[in-house]
Structure 1
Amino acid sequence: MDQNRPVQIIGFMLVHDFSMIAFTAAIEPLRLANRVSGATLYQWRLYSANGLDAEASNGVKVSVEQSFAQARDMDAVVVCAGVDVQTIDHRALVAALRRLTKFGASAGAVCTGAYVLAKAGLLDGYRSTIHWENRPGMQADFPELEIGEDLFEIDRDRFTCAGGVAAADMMLSLIKRDHGQATAEAVTDQLIHHRVREASERQRIDLRTRLGVAHPKLLRVVTLMEQSIERPLTMGQFAESVALSNRQLERLFWKHLGYPPSKHYLKIRLEHACQLLRQTAMPILSVAMASGFNSASYFSQSYIDYFGHSPSAERKLAVVG
């Protein structure tokens, strides 16, 4: 570790309804890096849209120093966001981010903060990631961006993560890059984190655990279903992919999940549509097509049957929420 390296000043931009766990997981490794090294390696400042207390999605309020517009002179800026990030007016934050990066600050994000970086044009030409639940919406709004499914991405002077405790893994990797493995490992021990997860590790728990099923052919079919949303495959194609007949595939799903494969596939596509309705401004017909429905009426009726309300009502709920 270079003891002569100057203190790094990091600004945390707290968007209304930000994720408290992601924010805490990002800032605590910095505090502990100072502690284990016996030196001030990092300093941080907190900002909100209006300079008043920022409220997290759990209702806890955090005191800040200044507003986004007043943020100056920092080495890195980290956007902390959370639920319904796409419904918030980010103009003041976007202006601040562009100004800060113009003067040399690196830019990062935890949880859905990557969406704000994308709106500011700061992810163009960079790899990035976001919470798995928000990835379809962000990809729809910014189709030109390379948005992965990893826990976190560190690409030159941009760093993004999926949120939750993945923020800690990202910050530990940055600490390792800045101050060496020994410092990062000492912080990991303090966090009782056991190990720093690799960026490429999956965000979600594996499919076997999610479904409570271990049958390899069923897991292969469900994986293929999740990869074939916009252009649906037939049940015959799914059966053929695992060398089963249609009847054998049907029996397999009934035995392990208690319903037919067509119902599971419909569930996957409808939940994908729900995310797009809540996270984007895509027309409902476009959402239907992006979820594999060629008929607007069939999409609407299927949505009502599954969720208990129409796609248009879903969008209204998202706006109200």
Structure 2
Amino acid sequence: LFRSGISGGSAILSAANLMQDRRHTIHWMHLDELRAIYPDANVERRLYVIDRDRFTCAGGTAPLDMMCAIITKHHGADLARAVSNWFIHTAIRKAEEPQQEHQVSMPVFGHPALDVALELIQNHIGDPLTLADLAFLSKISERQLERVAKDRLGMSLMRYYRTIRLKKADDLLSHSNMTIEAIAQATGFSDRSHFSRVFQGAYLCGPSARRKSRHRSNEQ
């Protein structure tokens, strides 16, 4: 059966155990609370998420964007644009676009485009964006973004992105009961095998061994 949640609706679906093994989103004001209540939830900070038979969006005007994505998939982009125009909704947004206007008046690394890219990275741990996506949404060329990242971060932006995802995975290994497969999915890796290889390269031990060593340390 198809289920849909708008704004805080995915919290209700989660409470009813209807979002297990499903990606979903929620209004940004409820995001941290939902993650605290359901630490295993595969929730993402996106305008909308369509995962098989589950449709969730952040509320506001995001339902229109989600509706247009569904129309595009089943009936084509021309009809989706016609429907969007009828609703005076002249720009159909992508799922990965931010829920809030970026606040770049107080830069973290002193470069507005890089700060936007870093915010996008934090909001897309489980559904990693490409360098092209990050550059487009940061309103800068890929080459410029990479140059700024290497200057300010000391590494390529995508290497930094992978480091952030691995840190999140390490945190989940220590503070959740999620399976290795679920953690791999929640941090944007294609499967357990790929995740384990990358994790081993970064931490010099596999995810299972890392979890066991952390648990032993906590018991001491």
Q: TM-score scaled by structure 2?
A: 0.51
Partners of 2:31 and 2:137 lie apart in 1 by 32
Change over 3 Å in CA distance of 1:129–1:288 after alignment to 2 = closer
State the partner residue of 2:131: 235
Q: How does 1:92-171 map to 2 (within 5 A)?
A: 139-141=38-40, 143=41
Q: 1:318 aligns with which of 196, 214, 220?
A: 214
Q: What secondary structure is seen at the aligned counterpart in 1 of 2:110?
A: coil
Change over 3 Å in CA distance of 1:241–1:298 after alignment to 2 = same
Change over 3 Å in CA distance of 1:138–1:268 after alignment to 2 = farther
Change over 3 Å in CA distance of 1:129–1:266 after alignment to 2 = closer
In the TM superposition, structure 1's runs of 4+ consecutive aligned residues that sit over 4 Å from their partners are 127-130, 135-138
Partners of 1:244 and 1:128 lie apart in 2 by 28
Q: How does 1:127-276 map to 2 (within 5 A)?
A: 139-141=38-40, 143=41, 208=108, 213-276=109-172
Give the drift of 1:140. Answer: 2.0
Partners of 2:183 and 2:36 lie apart in 1 by 10
Give the drift of 1:232. Answer: 1.1
Q: For each residue in 1:89-113, what CA deviation from the matched residue of structure 2 results, as whole angstroms up to 9, or x when unmatched?
A: xxxxxxxxxxxxxxxxxxxxxxxxx
Change over 3 Å in CA distance of 1:219–1:289 after alignment to 2 = same
Q: What secondary structure is seen at the aligned counterpart in 1 of 2:182?
A: helix
Give the drift of 1:304. Answer: 1.3
Q: 2:174 aligns with which of 278, 282, 287?
A: 278
Partners of 1:294 and 1:129 lie apart in 2 by 25
State the partner residue of 2:26: none
Which runs of 5 or more residues in structure 1 are unaligned?
Answer: 1-126, 144-205
Q: What secondary structure is seen at the aligned counterpart in 2 of 1:244?
A: coil
Seq. identity, %: 31
**Structure 1 position 300 matched with structure 2 position 196:** yes
Partners of 2:147 and 2:129 lie apart in 1 by 19
Q: What secondary structure is seen at the aligned counterpart in 1 of 2:184?
A: helix
Give the drift of 1:263. Answer: 0.6
Letter in 2 for 1:240: F
Q: For each residue in 1:18-77, what CA deviation from the matched residue of structure 2 results, as whole angstroms up to 9, or x when unmatched?
A: xxxxxxxxxxxxxxxxxxxxxxxxxxxxxxxxxxxxxxxxxxxxxxxxxxxxxxxxxxxx
Q: How does 1:50-65 map to 2 (within 5 A)?
A: none
Q: CA RMSD in A?
A: 2.6
Q: For each residue in 1:178-231, what CA deviation from the matched residue of structure 2 results, as whole angstroms up to 9, or x when unmatched?
A: xxxxxxxxxxxxxxxxxxxxxxxxxxxx872xxxx2111111100110000111
Partners of 1:294 and 1:314 lie apart in 2 by 20
Is the Cα contact below 8 Å between 1:239 and 1:246 reproduced in 2? yes
Change over 3 Å in CA distance of 1:128–1:234 after alignment to 2 = closer
Is the Cα contact below 8 Å between 1:303 and 1:310 reproduced in 2? yes
Q: What secondary structure is seen at the aligned counterpart in 2 of 1:140?
A: coil
**Structure 1 position 291 matched with structure 2 position 187:** yes
Q: TM-score scaled by structure 1?
A: 0.36
Letter in 1 for 2:39: A
Change over 3 Å in CA distance of 1:138–1:304 after alignment to 2 = farther
- Which structure: larger Rg? 1
State the partner residue of 1:33: none
Higher relative helix content: 2
Partners of 2:136 and 2:154 lie apart in 1 by 21
Letter in 2 for 1:243: K
Higher relative strand content: 1
